[in-house]
Amino acid sequence: MIEGLLLRTALVPIIACAGILLGLLYRGLDRVLVARMQSRVGPPVTQPFRDVKKLLLKENIVPRDAVGWIFNSVPVIALSVTVLILLYLPFIGMEPVLEGHGDLILVIYLLLIPSLALVLGGFSSGSTYATVGAQREMVTMMSYEFPLAVASVSIAWIISAANPGIAAFSLGAIAMNPAWAAVGPLGLLGLALLLLTMLAVMPGELGVAPFDVAEAETEIAGGVLVEYSGRNLAMFYLADAVKAVVLGTIVIALFLPWGIAGSLGITGMAAVAADAIFYLVKLFIVIFVGSIFIRAAIARFRITQVVKAYWGYATFVSLLGLLLISLDMLSRLL
Amino acid sequence: MRKAGDIIGQESRDTYSICVGPVHPALKEPVRLNLRVRGERIEHVDFELSQVHRGIEWMGTRRNPIQILYLSERICGICNICHTFAFCRAVESIAGIEVPPRARYIRTIVAELERIHSHILWAGVAAHELGFDSAMHYAFRAREKVLDVIENLTGNRIMKAIMMIGGVRRDMDKGQARLVMEAADFYSRCSRKLEKIFLGDPVIKSRTRDTGILTRHDCLALCSVGPTARASGVRKDVRQDEPYGAYPDVGVKAMTPDEITGETRGDVYDRIAVRLREIKQSADIIGRCVKDMPEGKIAHEDKANVLLGELRGVQGEGIGRHEAPRGEVFHYVKLVGEEAPYSWKVRAPTYNNLLSWIPMMLGAQIADIPVIAASIDPCMSCTNRAVVTGPGRRQVLGQDMLHDLSVKRTRELRRGLRP
């Protein structure tokens, strides 16, 4: 028991570092790939690491009008909570470090905190641009919460129906029991719609185009982050990078949880390595579809259009998915 | 004069003042917009000009007309042909200089190449303001070819330095003519592609349709010019209304959005449509000009010192107009038989178009500010004048002060005229 606890404690810093490194690496890939899609050369993949290094060396300016303690504490909160979420997720194909201590519902609540930190940071920085940005961030957050919740709850429902007695909201359990296997054709369609919803929620959560209204460089000059610099900005940057990994991992756990080792017939350490690599590939695909590609392909929405897209279309699609899944369940009961 | 700090922030319970500029990512050149917003909606718009005054007209009245040519190119990087063209026409009209036909054609070709490059640049900027960087990079890549052609023709990519009073400084040979023809073909196709990207994209359409509407009535009342006016359905184009250069031979028709989309709404979308179609129009004009180009001299007088001597002998006032990519540019010159002109006055198109920001922005959202601001293609450094600066004071000359100064100046002149 104690050994297990020690092992888990030892894993925490490793996962935190791996999450940050992976986040920055995918951020680098994002920048190169977007550049290639825009017929540019783009920066080297290591550019985000250099950016963070540079930001950490820069002066940390706190505006005169800012509420200092909030302004300085929210970047730490944003980064630490984002890393904390990773501990509840099946990261790199492993069982979650904090398995049994928190489930999908907790993760969804925790996901709010980095956004709330941004909102607080924006309001506390004493700039009009940041205030506008913070209002927009809040509205965006409220808009994508519902479709996200519908998608998550539907998956848990499917799994609990298929495996009675299981802790259905536990991410370990969700990852072990792919929802796709537990439903019929109607349910498959419903799940596909839910996957689509999740992928649509991703850019909103990550604040990338077309949902980058809270930062909208050309409109409000960086919005919530306009007054942030140096170390504080670096922490928000890192939190953002890790959040991409977090969201990717959630989508993988909910919708694409399979490993590759079983089908290749590999066992032992090689199996762990194969699954880890397969996880990285899946993560790349999810981030590519949910963030990189969409960022290069679409212009920025207005905040009213963001609300319409999430409260209107995404909610409709997710509810339709839920409806199809319930029909599927009913048809099997009958 | 308000200080920078005191207009930002909350004014009442539910309206905010937001200040865009003088330095802001939405602006490519300094101007300051003071806006009052309720939530995301704009309720009041005002702007302050003269953030980038350089005193070019003053410098001009201390130089000879040929030196002014190069000075006038520096009024604005993108419209460097426009200002030299208008200035040349003003001086030529005073001195009664006849421009040789071949020079008129070359001038027209270069001016239209400039329009292509300016409009594509603008399309890229507009895409960037909408947060659509992919379209911006696509537009900027498409712009490279015209810059290469301009470099081949004039020796420079931006600052063309090809205009001369009474003609042009460089001839065009057969190889260059072929290059220009190729570029014209390329941009005929390119304009279609750009139209597909900008007018066909649903997100761009949803952001720009019915955004920043300038009605035909407002447009006429505010004397808007160029594509801004044409997008509101006002058929106004110097090339059509008062043809010069090779335009009488080519026959230009003002482009209005009803020819492109079938209706005129006067919104940002229409302004995009008009500018993109004008790329094709320019390419067609260039094609015609290259085909019909007459042989002959390219300048009224080759030697600059002879020309200067000729200009030193003339007296009178003249105006020069040219349809710049942003609208009509207007130069007034008064020569009094001396080395330097007595007066030189520049009125760039942005000066007319700026006021149309107010009806366009009222009722729009904060998110629309950048694209509405960009939609008139503002060029601040062309526009700024009349600012007095000194240690500890910074003052814009308002109407009252200008009036007082004018009265004072007139009295001085009268006194000087008395025997």
Complex prediction ipTM: 0.77
* The pLDDT of residue A292: 84
Of B9, B26, B39, the CB nearest to A218: B26
Average pLDDT on B96-110 reads 89
Interchain contact, B137 vs A39, CB within 8 Å? yes
Place of tokens 């178009």: B353
Nearest C-alpha of chain B: how many angstroms from A65? 11
**Which tokens in the block code for residue B152?**
């081949």
Binding-face residues of A in 171-230 toward B, CB within 8 A: 209-210, 212-213, 216-222
CB-CB neighbours of A106 under 10 Å: 15
Q: What is the token pair recorded at A294?
A: 């969409």
Q: Identify the weakest region by mean pLDDT among A129-138, A228-237, B43-52.
A: B43-52
**Shortest CA distance from A131: residue in chain B:** B9
Substitution target in B15, B203, B368 with the highest count of A β-carbons within 10 Å is B203
Q: Which residue has the higher pLDDT, B385 or A258?
A: A258
Asked if the C-beta of A304 comes within 8 angstroms of chain B's C-beta atoms, the answer is yes
Radius of gyration of chain A (CA): 20
Which chain A residues in 39-68 lie under 8 Å from chain B, judged by CB atoms?
A: 39-40
* Contact B128/A at CB under 8 A: yes
d(CA A334, CA A296): 47
Which of A43-52, A264-273, B40-49, B56-65 is the least confident region?
A264-273
Q: Which residues of A touch B204 (CB under 8 A)?
A: 299
Least confident span in B43-47, B64-68, B124-128:
B43-47
Residues of A in contact with B130 (CB under 8 A): 218, 299-300
Which residues on chain B are in Cβ contact (under 8 Å) with A220?
Answer: 366
Q: Helix A230-255 to helix A68-87 angle, to the nearest 10 degrees?
A: 30
* Residue B8: strand, helix, or coil: coil
CB–CB contact B365 A302 (8 Å): yes
Please give the average per-residue pLDDT across B104-112, as a whole number.
Answer: 90
DSSP A163: S
Cross-chain Cβ contact B204/A212 below 8 Å: no
Q: What percentage of chain A carries pLDDT values higher than 70?
A: 98
- Please choose, from the candidates B31, B51, B78, the residue with its C-alpha nearest in 3D space to the C-alpha of residue B326: B78
CA gap B311, B374 in Å, rounded:
40
Q: Do A301 and B207 touch (CB under 8 A)?
A: yes
Distance between A112 CA and the closest CA of chain B, angstroms:
23
pLDDT given at position B6: 41
Q: Are B347 and B72 in contact (CB under 8 A)?
A: no
Q: Which residue has the higher pLDDT, B381 or A173?
A: A173
Which residue type sits at B121?
L
- Considering only CB atoms, B370 lies closest to which of A40, A212, A218, namely A218
- The Cα B90–Cα B84 span in angstroms is 10
**For residue B370, is the peptide bond before it cis, meaning its omega torsion is within 30 degrees of 0?**
no
Q: Per-residue confidence at B393, pLDDT binned at 50, 70, 90?
A: low
Which range, of A198-207, A253-262, B171-180, averages the lowest pLDDT? A253-262
Give the three-state DSSP class for B388: strand
Higher pLDDT, A118 or A93: A118
Report CB contact under 8 Å: A218, B18.
no
Inter-chain touch A216–B131, beta carbons under 8 Å: yes
Domain boundaries along the sequence of chain A: 2-329
Model confidence pLDDT, tens digit, residues B296-341: 888 888 888 888 888 888 888 889 989 888 888 889 988 888 888 8
Residue A226 has pLDDT above 80, yes or no: yes
Comparing A52-66, A265-279, B247-261, B262-276, which segment has the lowest mean pLDDT? A265-279
Model confidence over A241-296: pLDDT tens digits? 999 999 888 888 888 877 776 677 777 777 778 888 888 888 888 888 888 888 88
Q: Do A299 and B8 touch (CB under 8 A)?
A: no
Q: Choose, out of B32, B130, B211, B361, the residue to mutate when testing the contact with A (most A CBs < 10 Å).
A: B130
Query: Does residue B199 sit at the A interface (CB-CB below 8 Å)?
Result: no
Inter-axis angle of helices A230-255 and A47-57, nearest 10? 140
Query: What is the number of CB-based contacts under 8 A between chain A and chain B?
Result: 86
Inter-chain contact B206–A209, Cβ cutoff 8 Å? no
Is there a contact between B40 and A303 if contact means CB atoms under 8 Å apart?
yes
A298–B369: do the CB atoms touch at under 8 Å? no
**What is the Cα–Cα distance from A71 to B294, expressed in whole angstroms?**
70
pLDDT at position A40 is 86
Model confidence pLDDT, tens digit, residues B191-234:
888 888 888 888 888 888 888 888 888 888 888 888 888 888 88
Residue A91 has pLDDT above 60, yes or no: yes
Contact B203 A210 (CB under 8 A): yes
Residue-wise burial string across B82-93, b where 16 or more C-beta atoms lie within 10 A, e elsewhere = bbbbbbbbbbbe
CB contact under 8 Å between B367 and A300, yes or no, is yes
Find the length of chain A: 334
Domains in chain B (CATH in brackets) are 5-52+357-417 (no CATH), 57-351 (1.10.645.10)
Distances (CA, A) of A64 to A61, A80, A124, A221, B119: 9, 26, 11, 19, 43
Average pLDDT score, chain A: 83
pLDDT digits (tens, 9 = 90+) for A124-155: 887 888 888 888 888 888 888 888 888 888 88
In what order do the strands lie in the sheet containing B315-324? B315-324, B327-336, B343-347
Band of the pLDDT at A50, cuts 50, 70, 90? very high
A130 at B interface, C-beta within 8 A: no
Which residue of A40, A128, A298 is in closest CB contact with B203? A298
Flag whether residue A139 sits within 8 Å of chain B, measured between CB atoms.
no
- CB-CB contact of A17 with A25 (8 Å): no
Search chain A and give the residue with CA nearest B133. A296
Q: What is the pLDDT of residue A52?
A: 92
Residue B2 has a pLDDT of: 40
Contacts of A132 in chain B (CB under 8 A): 16, 18, 40, 366
